Amino acid sequence: MLTDIIKKSTLFKRFTDKEIGEILDSRYCNILKIDKNSYVFQQEDEPTSMFVLIDGSVQVEKTDVNGKRTIVNIFTDSGTVFGEVYLYLSDHPYDYGCLARKQSTILSIDKEFFEGDSNTQKQIVQNMLEILSEKAFHLNQKLLIMGSFTLKQKIANYLLQKLNESKEVNLIYNREELADYLGTTRPSLSRELSNMERSGLLKLNRNSIEIIDLEELKNII
């Protein structure tokens, strides 16, 4: 049920099923079906809506004038909000594009919805502060990675940020996407990961990376 999925989003925290239903039925909300490899929005588009992922997967990316792609983030969790920052910037187009990695269903909420002063809209804005704080934390983590001097330090920073209790990092990126995320090339990434595996720091698996020597990994950064 759509309401149950939407309730997972921080944007709708503290709302009842009835209140969520009323929001979804309003003229400000639309359900979008986005095909694989199609864009939810592209660089330089004018922001007119905010989006909530219902199902599927999308990636936020930037392509420079030379065609080099940088992946900023990948969203796979239902209820994830994206495109919210630019909604509050006046006359500023998107610096990034958002691509569907597979067929995805997305809730689009028009900008006008956030300009009212009803209790519902005030609560939505309050929830937005929490979302923006979470996004700011993520960007800070990304800056720590990109501020590293060497590729080995970037990889170590990334792995330490994503490490779970089992000392593994579950990979949501393939090798090429991870290279784009870290701002390097796929051959350079593969070579450095192989070097780190040979030195006993980690073990490369199909969909995960197992950390073998956690203390030494921490010493790299």
pLDDT of residue 157: 94
pLDDT of residue 115: 80
pLDDT of residue 3: 82
Backbone phi, psi, residue 53, to 5°:
-75, 125
Q: Report the alpha-carbon distance of residue 164 to residue 209 in Å, rounded.
A: 11
CATH class of the domain defined by 2-133:
mainly beta
Q: Report the alpha-carbon distance of residue 173 to residue 189 in Å, rounded.
A: 13
Q: Beta partners for 105?
A: 33, 55
Q: Report the alpha-carbon distance of residue 44 to residue 167 in Å, rounded.
A: 40
- The reply to whether 2-133 and 147-220 are identical in fold is no
pLDDT of residue 140: 84
pLDDT tens string 102-124: 999 999 999 888 887 788 888 88
pLDDT of residue 7: 83
Run of H or E residues at 99 = strand 97-110
pLDDT tens string 166-175: 899 999 889 9
pLDDT of residue 103: 97
Q: Report the alpha-carbon distance of residue 87 to residue 49 in Å, rounded.
A: 7
Run of H or E residues at 186 = helix 186-198
Q: Where are the domains of the chain?
A: 2-133, 147-220
pLDDT tens string 40-49: 999 999 999 9
23 exposure class (CB count in 10 Å sphere: 0-12, 13-18, 19+)? buried
pLDDT of residue 28: 92
pLDDT above 90 covers a percentage of the chain that reads 58
Run of H or E residues at 21 = helix 17-24
Q: Report the alpha-carbon distance of residue 32 to residue 106 in Å, rounded.
A: 5
pLDDT tens string 176-215: 999 989 989 999 999 999 999 999 999 999 889 999 999 9
Q: Report the alpha-carbon distance of residue 26 to residue 109 in Å, rounded.
A: 10
pLDDT of residue 82: 93
pLDDT bucket at 89, cuts 50 / 70 / 90: confident
Q: Report the alpha-carbon distance of residue 183 to residue 170 in Å, rounded.
A: 20
pLDDT of residue 126: 87
pLDDT tens string 11-26: 998 899 899 999 999 9
pLDDT of residue 134: 84
pLDDT of residue 204: 95
Q: Which residue has the tokens 């700011």?
A: 136
CATH class of the domain defined by 147-220:
mainly alpha
Rounded average pLDDT over 52-60: 95
Q: What is the pTM of this model?
A: 0.76
**For residue 44, what is the DSSP state?**
T
Q: Report the alpha-carbon distance of residue 46 to residue 212 in Å, rounded.
A: 47
Q: Which tokens in the block code for residue 146? A: 């990109």
N-term to C-term CA, the chain: 45
